[in-house]
Structure 1
């Protein structure tokens, strides 16, 4: 064999090994030319790259071959992903090709979510595309609406502050400062008063304790008195008192109706007049006995008669002998 032939064979082997190595690095199997390939359209592939693996139910069944922009003018800007499957697993055209994060370190893979309803998918068909957000993207998506709302709130707060500054002129600001200083002074005085009260309580703690003890003792005494009253036959006493009041009321009613001596005395004017006249005559008789005792007790050896009753002298409280 000539050297030129050997050189040609070695060159072909080197070229073949190079092509195989290149495809191996791209995860392409040059020994499986009959592998099925499919297409998926995405608006954003979230970092999916060529040679990313393709899985079905977690099992690696293929790889991404090519990622290009869609040449169709109607779908300008969309990305067209071509992937191949070396597995004969069958699924329908309604299956979904979902991009999902490969791990926390980054990278994206493609997963086929198989559907078995509808026509069977064959090589060259288009599948529905879907993107599963990773942790940071999910947080970002959820934070974006909050960020927008926060921005709106900040704008309103800024407007409020501007309006507040425009409303508060120099005089109003000075008045507000004085109010704040006055409130600070009030708080200081309140703290001072509280300290004074605390000191007063500490200084009179013993007296307060004694007062509380006395109060407790008084409470106990009152409780004992209440208990004694509860044990006493208070009901019977009250009933007797009610009976006495009823009797007194009956007596007063009888007096008012003229029953009995007191009733007649109270209601009969004639009896009252006679009694008053008798009292007056008794008073005059006693005065006459005091002024002229000789008229009632007479001792005379010579037969001298006492002077007769003189009403004028009696009224003047003067004796008849004068």
Structure 2
């Protein structure tokens, strides 16, 4: 009984290990054995990059995976690929299963549904084919364009080298450096000027205050001027100017003493002669005083 129990334990352990190995391998392959699936087939002449458990996609969504890849010995040059697809997926008749490769070389199967109204039966063979690879598109479409651009790029680089080596460009760069230096100096000056703006504003405020005081004084002066009898003052000035005009007119005429004194030449000459005679008398008086003043006798 003990021996039987020991053998049973070994058998169960081996069975469990086999199940774990089976499920583990399928898990690593991405195969979910608990999920119901339908199987379809497709034949290809080139399955480069495709491997068991490679995804099968529809409109970018994974709907299954590659189950097996076998060579068709009864159809030389072709490889039969078995696909495990979701059980609920219904494939229209005439649909294609295209192998698509990425830049890294990994391949997957892309389903391209047709517009037919009927559906394929489970186990049917779909039409297989190879979609253009990205590398082939690059070599076919991009490389000719690149080859055409290369001479233009070479010419452009030659022109750039000539431009860089041009002395005029160097002079322009030096001028730009000088302009930049001037701008920096101007910015520094503006910063200093802005720093002195508070003091300047105080001065402006003082000037404005003085202007306010002057304006107030002018207002007071204007009020005082309004109180001055300007009309009577102007009348007095006119009267004074009239009198001055009369005096000036009389001084210019010869019918009065002042006019004769200012305008009569003979009177001027007589006065001048009298003054000269008086001067001679004074000079002689100083020289010969006894002639004019008799000596005083003392008794």
TM-score (norm 2): 0.43
TM-score (norm 1): 0.40
